[in-house]
Amino acid sequence: MTLAETLDRWHDMVARRDMTDLPEIVHPDAVFRSPVAHTPYPTRDAVVLALRTVLTVFEDFRYHRTFREGHDAVLEFSARVNGKDLRGVDLIRVDDDGLITEFEVMVRPLSGLQALGEEMGRRIGAQLKDLA
C-alpha cells in the first residue's frame, strides 16, 4: 500500500464517519501526538482510540488541502468543538508498507484547542493515559 492509498482509505473512513477499518492502516508501533499533551501516546491502540474519539468530538469537520512528499502528508482541516471554531493540520507519516507510523495533530486558535482538549479529556483522558 502506498501513502496515496492509505490516505484514500483514511478519507473514505472520515467521510463515512466509520473507523472500523482504521487498525488495518495503522502500524502496531505507531505514535499519536496530541496538540494538548507533552508526551506522545505509543501503540496502535492509542492512535485508534484517539482518532475514533475525535471523529465524534468534531462538528462540521472538513479537510481543505493535502500536501504529500515521500512517506509524509499534511492534511489541513477545519471543525468546531462545543461551538468553538478551529483550524488544524494532521501530520501523517507512513512506513514502506503504507501503514501509519506517526499521527500528529496541531490546532489553533487557543480557544478551539482548549475546547478540544477538554472534550477529549472528558471522553477518553484516562483511557489514553493508560495506553501510554
pLDDT greater than 70 at residue 128:
no
pLDDT at 67: 97
98-114 pLDDT, tens digit per residue, is 999 999 999 999 999 99
The CATH number given to 3-126 is: 3.10.450.50
pLDDT at 39: 87
Which span out of 3-12, 37-46, 118-127 was modeled with the highest average pLDDT? Answer: 3-12
Long-range contacts, stretch 107-115, CB < 8 angstroms, 24+ apart: 107/35, 111/84, 112/80, 112/81, 112/84, 112/85, 112/86, 112/87, 113/35, 113/36, 113/86, 114/84, 115/81, 115/82, 115/83, 115/84, 115/86
pLDDT greater than 70 at residue 129:
no
69-83 pLDDT, tens digit per residue, is 999 999 999 999 999
Which span out of 33-42, 85-94, 109-118 was modeled with the highest average pLDDT? Answer: 85-94
